[in-house]
């Protein structure tokens, strides 16, 4: 690309050969150019416009047009080099070539001066040879990672600086009637001093906030409409719980953006339109949301970036709302499951008591009918009352009341229910005023005792002990001398459902939740072969 450009310098821009070489240079520039994405297909209108502009510039080409073209190339090269993470010495060499050509060869011709042979040899022979040698030694250059194609701000600042130096040198030489090279040195000195002073004023020091603060405030003010839309979107997300209503209202908030004339959105559940359609639109897709924005004219790259960003933010909020709805539905289903599992365990425990009562009835039917009748007379009202409580929970789970009973009386009733199961009951240090929530203690004690009795069926001969005592509060302990609970189950048996061969696997999990609701905590106090102990401990007030 640079070879035909150097031919233009040697043949002069006004000559026919110079114009032809410049067109060849422009064609090679279009192959390299970093302005338009390589994947984009140019329309016939854009292609014709570009060729027409190149033809007009080539026809009227002179030193002034060539100078501005070189300044543009320098801005493109330099803008990329200033923001590059790695220093590329070959690119730096190209910058020196373009800069030397512009200031040492094109500039004097603009000022109608002929550079001396010593000065002219630098841009015409020395710098091209260095570039050629550097290209041969550099070989095939690999594309740098995270490389920017074009940095507009740096390129613009560099273009303005070069234009100031070039035009300032010519103006200085004409105003003071000095040679171009002398004026060039003076202009470079003035530009360097100005840049040094600006860098000193840019940073805050000695109570001065610096120009950078004013510049940052200006940049922040440019995005105020977008920031206002983001703020309104966050407020809307806090107010609206339904995902579809949120999406509809959020799309209507797009009207506050000045460049948006209309918007059409579509998801897998709904679609809608606000404003009006125009001939200029941009489509953005972040599943499950598709958004089309309409404007007065073609959207600039900055507005396309804003549109992409706001669509992505809106899509993420919409997905979050849908996940929130799913979580609410799952929580509702889980609450129904836990309520059903708790009531199922209550009924299971009552069924176990009925089975025990039936076995006792069959065993004592011929021995002592009066004692059997007395046992049934005491047990059936309790079973009936617990069934009524279970049905009441099923009908009105939110209206369940806590019934308290003296701890001594509750313990005596529990001991009477299990008097034929060979369980060692003990009570100590209990006052008459001490009371326990009967439904909670019945459920927890029945679960733990039934688990221990099931273990006894698998491991005959183990002892089961239940103790009620006072230790900074009411405490109930249930211990058996069987084998320890497996380690993979022991860590989660009280905190989550576990696999069970003879139940639902949620008995102790539900028991722990019941205990927490009533101000108690259920703990596994010991787990080893010969001693597995659970305890219900009252939390300190």
Three-state SS across 339-366? HHHHHHHHHHHHHHHHHHHHHHHHHHCC
- CA-wise closest residue to 422 among 382, 390, 377, 466: 466
CA distance 438 to 249: 52
In this predicted structure, what is the pLDDT of residue 488?
Answer: 74
CA distance 150 to 262: 31
Q: Mean pLDDT in runs of 10 for the chain (541 residues)?
A: 92 91 89 72 82 86 93 85 68 89 92 84 89 78 51 83 93 91 93 88 65 60 64 84 84 79 84 85 86 82 79 87 81 67 66 67 60 64 68 56 82 82 85 83 85 88 91 89 85 72 64 84 89 88 61
Which string of DSSP letters, residue by residue, matches 102-137? IIIIIHHHHTT----HHHHHIIIIIHHHHHHHHHHH
Three-class DSSP category at 399: helix
Whether residue 255 contacts residue 275, with contact meaning beta carbons closer than 8 Å, is answered with yes
In this predicted structure, what is the pLDDT of residue 395?
Answer: 57
For the beta carbon of residue 77, count every other beta carbon within 10 angstroms: 20
Three-class DSSP category at 537: strand
Whether residue 445 contacts residue 477, with contact meaning beta carbons closer than 8 Å, is answered with no
Strand partners, 456: none
- Tallying the residues shown for the chain, one arrives at 541
- List of residues 6+ apart from 443 with CB closer than 8 A: 342, 345, 346, 349, 510, 511, 514
Whether residue 526 contacts residue 482, with contact meaning beta carbons closer than 8 Å, is answered with no
In this predicted structure, what is the pLDDT of residue 515?
Answer: 85
CA distance 274 to 436: 63
For 81, the token pair is: 């080099």
Q: What are the Cα distances from residue 257, in Å, to 24, 233, 266, 290, 295?
A: 45, 13, 20, 18, 10
- CA-wise closest residue to 259 among 218, 225, 219: 225
Q: What is the largest CA-CA distance in the chain?
A: 139
In this predicted structure, what is the pLDDT of residue 171?
Answer: 93
Whether residue 404 contacts residue 438, with contact meaning beta carbons closer than 8 Å, is answered with yes
Domains and CATH numbers, the chain: 62-204 (no CATH), 221-328 (no CATH), 402-541 (3.30.565.10)
In this predicted structure, what is the pLDDT of residue 69?
Answer: 93
CA distance 151 to 82: 9
Three-class DSSP category at 433: coil
In this predicted structure, what is the pLDDT of residue 145?
Answer: 42
For 315, the token pair is: 């899509």
- List of residues 6+ apart from 181 with CB closer than 8 A: 108, 115, 119
Whether residue 535 contacts residue 477, with contact meaning beta carbons closer than 8 Å, is answered with yes
CA distance 199 to 211: 9
- CA-wise closest residue to 24 among 48, 5, 43, 41: 5
């Amino acid at each position: 690309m640079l070879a035909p450009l150097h031919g233009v310098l040697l043949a002069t821009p006004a000559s026919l050969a110079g114009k032809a070489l410049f067109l060849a240079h422009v064609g090679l520039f279009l192959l390299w150019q970093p302005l338009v994405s390589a994947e984009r297909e140019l329309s016939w209108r854009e292609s014709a416009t570009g060729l027409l502009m190149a033809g007009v510039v080539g026809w009227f080409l002179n030193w002034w047009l060539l100078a501005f073209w070189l300044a543009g190339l320098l801005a493109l090269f330099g803008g990329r080099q200033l923001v590059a993470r790695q220093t590329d010495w070959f690119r730096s060499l190209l910058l020196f070539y373009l800069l030397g050509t512009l200031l040492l060869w094109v500039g004097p011709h603009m000022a109608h001066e002929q550079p001396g042979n010593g000065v002219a040899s630098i841009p015409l022979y020395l710098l091209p040879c260095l570039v050629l040698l550097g290209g041969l030694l550099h070989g095939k250059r690999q594309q740098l990672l995270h490389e920017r194609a074009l940095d507009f701000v740096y390129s613009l600042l560099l273009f303005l600086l070069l234009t100031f130096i070039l035009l300032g040198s010519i103006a200085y030489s004409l105003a003071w009637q000095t040679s171009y090279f002398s004026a060039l040195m003076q202009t470079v000195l003035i530009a360097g001093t100005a840049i040094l002073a600006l860098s000193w004023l840019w940073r805050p020091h000695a109570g001065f906030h610096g120009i950078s603060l004013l510049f940052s405030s200006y940049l922040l003010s440019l995005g105020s409409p977008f920031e206002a839309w983001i703020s309104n979107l966050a407020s809307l997300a806090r107010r609206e719980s339904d995902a579809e209503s949120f999406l509809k209202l959020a799309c209507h908030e797009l009207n506050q953006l000045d460049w948006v004339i209309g918007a059409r959105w579509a998801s897998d559940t709904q679609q809608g339109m606000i404003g009006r359609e125009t001939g200029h639109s941009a489509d953005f897709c972040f599943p499950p949301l598709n958004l089309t924005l309409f404007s007065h004219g073609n959207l600039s790259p900055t507005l396309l970036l804003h549109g992409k960003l706001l669509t992505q933010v809106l899509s993420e909020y919409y997905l979050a709302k849908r996940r929130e709805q799913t979580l609410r539905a799952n929580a509702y289903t889980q609450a129904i499951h836990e309520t059903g599992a708790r009531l199922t365990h209550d009924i299971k425990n009552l069924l176990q008591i009925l089975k025990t009562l039936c076995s006792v009835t069959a065993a004592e039917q011929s021995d002592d009918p009066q004692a059997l009748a007395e046992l049934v007379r005491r047990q059936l009202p309790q079973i009936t009352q617990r069934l009524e409580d279970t049905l009441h929970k099923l009908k009105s789970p939110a209206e369940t009341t806590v019934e308290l009973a003296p701890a001594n009386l509750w313990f005596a009733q529990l001991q009477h229910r299990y008097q034929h199961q060979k369980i060692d009951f003990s009570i100590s240090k209990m006052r008459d005023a001490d009371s326990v929530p009967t439904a909670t203690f019945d459920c927890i004690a029945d679960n733990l005792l039934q688990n221990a009795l099931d273990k006894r069926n698998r491991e005959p001969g183990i002892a089961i002990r239940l103790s009620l005592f006072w230790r900074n509060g009411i405490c109930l302990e249930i211990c058996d001398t069987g084998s320890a609970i497996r380690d993979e189950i022991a860590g989660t048996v009280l905190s989550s459902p576990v696999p069970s061969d003879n139940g639902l696997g949620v008995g102790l999990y539900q028991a722990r939740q019941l205990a927490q609701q009533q101000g108690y905590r259920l703990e596994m106090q010991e787990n080893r072969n010969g001693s597995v102990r659970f305890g219900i401990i009252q939390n300190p007030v």
